[in-house]
Amino acid sequence: MEELIRIKIEESIFFLKKGAPLSEVLTGLPISESPILFRSDHLLLDLSYPADKERELSLVFAGDPEALETLRHSASHLLAQAVTELFPGVQVGIGPAIENGFYYDFLRDNPFTPEDLIAIEKRMREIAEQDIPIQRLVLSKEEAIRIFKERGQELKVELIQEKGGSEVTCYQQGDFIDFCLGPHLPSTGYLKFFKLLSVSGAYWKGDEKGPQLQRIYGTAFFTEKELEDYLNFLEEAKKRDHRRLGQELDLYTTSDDLGGGLVIWNPKGAIIRHLIENFWKEEHLKDGYDFIYSPHIAKLDLWKRSGHTEFYDAMFPPLEFEGFKYQLKPMNCPFHIIAYKSRQRSYRELPLRWAELGTVYRYERSGVLHGLLRVRGFTQDDAHIFCRGEQLEDEIKGVIQLATRLLKAFGFEKYQVYLATRPDKYVGKLEDWDKAEKALEEALKSSGLTYQIDEGEGVFYGPKIDIKIKDAIGRLWQCTTIQLDFNLPERFDLTYVSQDGTFERPFMIHRALLGSMERFFGVLIEHYKGNFPLWLAPVQIAILPIAERHEAYARELQSRFRAEALRVSLDDSREKINKKIREAEMQKVPLIAIVGDKEMSNQSLSLRIHGQGDQGQVEIESFISKIKKLIEDKSLETKF
């Protein structure tokens, strides 16, 4: 007698023959819309998934947010099928769904051209229109290896040998077959709204010594409007790209001569950094922080004791001289610990809040370097707090308040907040973890921030709070991180003398609020599209004399404004005034002061505001007064 499997969907009960496709239950359901997936025990399953055990199912329809990843994964297989049909002999790597889209890696001698992408996308549409069923296959490992060897797909053979069990899952659509866990859509006909975006290089398995592959990126959605909206978003993001704007506005420099991931701040970028750092320091002093400066290298033994050589793989190779090995610092924390241990501490001293704008160095692979957002040398807005257990909640609350105050000044008031809890592998006592997680959660509640629990995503040495800011076009950027650490105080045997004379272990809080100067600057450029608010603009006023006879008056104004600590430029070229205005607008100078005969006579200026146009004549003293007020208030809008 054949074994029957009990399947429940909502209030309906079905019995399927073991191994029968789960889709057989759909014939008995009164539904008007066809589902594309099943959900079972928080997993998504294909409609063709076999009845293998008693299950409770729910239906997933097109447009369900959970189904989008499956749509994009199926789109990556569609891409691979089109490429293998158009370019015989190409080897396929991996093709996952990713945030906002998908990609597939290919091994091919000749690079894909823009014309190739057009042809590939056209072929993808032809395959989609054929509405080819996507079939799930379960094969023996030996059979799967044989199939892919016959097809010349050596990369797939390698993956099956490494990752496959005695049986492996493959998916087939037409003549194309792929080694894959799934799930997938029922057929290629569900793939209607997609777009190929770009090609880049990628190493096989991320190994720089491995074969160089070509990665084709694309995106896919369930509706045409979602696709159009996303493509419009990409166009806007392209206009905001900090790498392009950084060059056009002369903000920073990177160079092969300098080395990948290393940045020079040009004068205009450097003045913005100076303003950010000054504001950062002022706000930290208000909150009772002291500052520390630490060296850029330390003996390798320090990093062994801290655990970085064991747990952290993004360090540069050590330097050696005078018989000792030294390490470029990837983090600032061991230095602050050394300072803490410079003498015995008392409970009366705690909390100690020590902040540092410390430059660190991390070896990032060349393939992931990206402008200011992913670099090898950067300055963290770092701080460490050493406190007693009963001070923990208040200290965390203070960090959150300082973080949101800083971010608000730069125009970021929308966040997504996460509380990352104890992972499977952790150090420290369970009761300390419970106390720390409770303190973090209570601080978040007190601060009024809506947050999500990120279960098991804390670091091995303690739980953490992550704050991701939302920029002008809705993108999320990781900035603030607040981490509790049970590891380093233990490794370095940190103590303080308690009120009863015993030695106690302090709690240690790591925190970075802006993240790093480089990355935060890149985010600022893109958030403002290079149109920095007046208090941050590298040049606040551009003075444009209409003719040569107006230059002396323009220089008087320049001196007057500089005396008020305003940042001002003077365009004394012999170009026509319209060209001067156009150049100042292209450089996104917030205020443009035009001076001619009338302005000289009235001791005034004609004002233009970037993006707003002509504001008429303005008296000099009231102009200065208004500017200084806007700067003092750190106003994000320039209005006269």
**From CA 630, how far away is CA 63, in angstroms rounded?**
46
503-504/613-619 β-pairing: unpaired
Write out 138-155 in H/E/C secondary structure: EEEHHHHHHHHHHCCCHH
Task: State whether residue 313 is helix, strand or coil.
Answer: coil
Out of 362, 550, 588, 608, the active site residue is 362
Please count the helices (runs of H) and the strands (runs of E) in the chain.
18, 34
384 is catalytic: yes
The one-letter code for the residue type at 112 is F
**From CA 126, how far away is CA 188, in angstroms rounded?**
10
424 is catalytic: no
Q: Quick one: angle between helices 392-409 and 430-447, nearest 10?
A: 40
Q: Give Cβ neighbours of residue 491 (< 8 Å, ≥ 6 apart).
A: 305, 306, 307
Taking CA atoms, 267 is separated from 522, 588, 599, in Å, by 16, 16, 31
Taking CA atoms, 456 is separated from 34, 139, 232, 459, in Å, by 36, 34, 36, 9
527 is catalytic: no
| Of 246, 279, 280, 283, the residue nearest 535 (C-alpha) | 279
296 is catalytic: no
Question: Quick check: 141 and 167 in contact, CB under 8 A?
Answer: yes
**From CA 188, how far away is CA 183, in angstroms rounded?**
13
432 is catalytic: no
Out of 46, 178, 382, 571, the active site residue is 382
Q: Please identify which residue in the block is written with the tokens 């470029």.
A: 328
Q: Please identify which residue in the block is written with the tokens 């230059």.
A: 551
DSSP letters, 502-571, are -EEPPEEEEEESS--HHHHHHHHHHHHTT---TTT-S--EEEEESSGGGHHHHHHHHHHHHHTT--EEE-
Beta strands (DSSP E) in 309-446 are 319-321, 324-328, 345-346, 352-361, 377-387, 415-420
Q: Please identify which residue in the block is written with the tokens 């008693």.
A: 54
380 is catalytic: yes
161 is catalytic: no
Out of 77, 242, 273, 384, the active site residue is 384
Catalytic positions are 333, 362, 380, 382, 384, 464, 510
